[in-house]
Amino acid sequence: MTENGIKDTYQLHVVERLYNSYKGKQTNLTKQATLDAEIARLLVNVMTLGLSTGITYLWVPPVRNR
């Protein structure tokens, strides 16, 4: 983070998703539950991307070298 805000666009996207997930909630309990659910969704997205990238990285070279 800089004095003027977040410079990294990916980090900004994640922070905005987290903030928007609980923005309209009233109590701390509902805010925390909603935030926890959004964090879980983000982790699943990151793991899915990592797995698909890893599989592509491992699969493509052997197929191309046939």
pLDDT in tens, 2-45: 666 777 777 888 888 889 988 889 999 999 999 999 989 888 88
Alpha helices of 1-66 — where are they, by DSSP H?
A: 9-22, 28-64
Give whole-number Cα distances, 9 to 6, 24, 39, 41, 52, in Å.
7, 24, 18, 19, 22
Q: Which pTM was predicted? A: 0.59
